[in-house]
Structure 1
Amino acid sequence: MGKREQAREEAAFMRGDVGVDGAATEEKQDEAEVERGKAREALLRGKAYLGREFLTWLLWRSEEGEPLAQFDKAGLTVLFLGRVVLKGVSGDVTELSARGSMAPYSEQVKHSLDRGLLVHQARLRITHGERAFEVTVDAEFLDIRAAKLPELMSEEEDSRLDERLYLSEQLSAMIHTLVETFIAVRAGRAWNKQVVPAMKEWMRGEEGTRKQTALQRAAHVRKR
């Protein structure tokens, strides 16, 4: 064995890539798992565009009012409340702020998303079982701000503090679960082929529906 080959093997052993027998210490990761890992790492490193994609995807999915993920044997339902801030992905610095109880689901916001903006900050109501949490989430590092916890049940001061800490941990874990659900979708093969086209159609709203109907009518006329 040459010195270079021996040096490479020793370096691999020191990194933990191989064992004493020279065999790999870990099996090759699945491609989907690798992509999920990359997306997760990007979010943790403050890649704002992924945080914005997450909040935009969450807005799209939340409009149906159905549970988006399972947490502690119950579904997580999300509703966007009040003010929502949209920002551009790159290039010119563009920001749009919409206010109002149902502003996040308005046609104006959807059309802005269709033109290239993404959700940067939003106020969410997360319902888990009979408990409802409210929190403002920022896409930069997925920071949790101005959280409103469910009404405390404990009467003793020490017990109330413990309950508040527990609920805060629960809220953080719920956000983490929603992020993991998004990452699984974002790293999947269906993202570009199915999810993005469906989101674009949703963004176009009534305008998109009218265009689709017009295209269908035109196709019908050509067949005749």
Structure 2
Amino acid sequence: MDLVDLIQEKRFLGQEFLAWLWFKSEERGGSVEVPGRGDVLVVFEKHMLLEYGEGDASEKVICRGLQTELKEARAGLGLAKKPEQARLRLAYGDYEFGVTLTAAIFEFRNIRLPKTVDAADEGKDAESLEGRILERIGLFEQLTHLVGDLFRLFINIRASHLWNEELIKIRAWIESGVHQG
């Protein structure tokens, strides 16, 4: 099996992860408890790309709006549409990140890192530049670890007996969103 076929075969995991993460973020008002880390703020913002069907028969639908206006996207889940891409705001500790996450290959797009240094305090020398670059690398690393921890939590539930209970809750959540609109 070549890489493209493998990605195509396993893309459902990323789609399930995004749907599950959306559910988990709303289950506790935006807060997801990650073992060993504590609470992580997860907010779905303004943009979600849903996919329906497979191969040449697949269709994509873009849903835009504030978090509360993603009703169309949530209703789409009830119609077997799968999240393929979502704009997320993640916060942990003193840092808040923005990222668009794609389901198929876990690609990070449009990353917004936290501001850590006041622009007026930035020096122009080589050491100052090197420090800012290293700081940005550290922030990218924190973001990837944060998403990795959330995915690990999902996989641990997905691969255990807890998944059936989680599916019941997710279906009820989708159904409640359909009846709200």
* Common topology (TM > 0.5): yes
The structure-2 alpha-carbon separation of the partners of 1:107 and 1:82, relative to structure 1 and needing over 3 Å to count, comes to closer
Aligned partner of 2:131 in structure 1 is: 159
1:101 aligned partner, one-letter code: L
The structure-2 alpha-carbon separation of the partners of 1:180 and 1:160, relative to structure 1 and needing over 3 Å to count, comes to same
Confirm or deny that 1:146 pairs with 2:142: no
1:48 aligned partner, one-letter code: R
2:31 aligned partner, one-letter code: E
Confirm or deny that 1:200 pairs with 2:174: no
State the secondary structure of the residue aligned to 1:153.
Answer: coil
Confirm or deny that 1:118 pairs with 2:90: no
State the secondary structure of the residue aligned to 1:202.
Answer: helix
State the secondary structure of the residue aligned to 2:32.
Answer: coil
Aligned partner of 2:159 in structure 1 is: 187
State the secondary structure of the residue aligned to 2:154.
Answer: helix
Aligned partner of 1:55 in structure 2 is: 18
Query: Do the aligned residues in 2 keep the contact of 1:86 with 1:119 (CA within 8 Å)?
Result: yes
Distance in 2 separating the partners of 1:126 and 1:159? 24
Structure of higher RCO (CA pairs closer than 8 Å, 6+ residues apart): 2
Structure having the higher strand fraction is 2
The structure-2 alpha-carbon separation of the partners of 1:101 and 1:208, relative to structure 1 and needing over 3 Å to count, comes to closer
Runs of 5+ consecutive residues of structure 2 not aligned to the other structure: 1-5, 123-127
Query: Do the aligned residues in 2 keep the contact of 1:152 with 1:164 (CA within 8 Å)?
Result: no
Instruction: Give the 5 Å matches for 1:77-96.
Output: 77-88=41-52, 90=54, 92-96=57-61
Query: Do the aligned residues in 1 keep the contact of 2:88 with 2:100 (CA within 8 Å)?
Result: yes
**RMSD (CA atoms):** 2.1
Number of aligned residue pairs: 162
State the secondary structure of the residue aligned to 1:68.
Answer: strand
Query: Do the aligned residues in 1 keep the contact of 2:46 with 2:70 (CA within 8 Å)?
Result: no
Aligned partner of 2:3 in structure 1 is: none
Query: Do the aligned residues in 2 keep the contact of 1:110 with 1:205 (CA within 8 Å)?
Result: no
Distance in 1 separating the partners of 2:101 and 2:109? 6
State the Cα deviation string for residues 32-82 of structure 1 (Å, max 9, x = none). Answer: xxxxxxxxxxxxx532111000001001111132233156x4432110111
1:143 aligned partner, one-letter code: E
Confirm or deny that 1:106 pairs with 2:70: yes
1:96 aligned partner, one-letter code: V
Runs of 5+ consecutive residues of structure 1 not aligned to the other structure: 1-44, 210-224
1:130 aligned residue (82, 89, 94): 94
Structure showing greater radius of gyration is: 1
Higher mean C-alpha deviation, range 85-94 or range 55-64: 85-94
Residue 141 (structure 1) shift: 0.8
* Identity value in percent: 29
Aligned partner of 1:75 in structure 2 is: 39
Residue 117 (structure 1) shift: 0.9
Residue 190 (structure 1) shift: 2.2
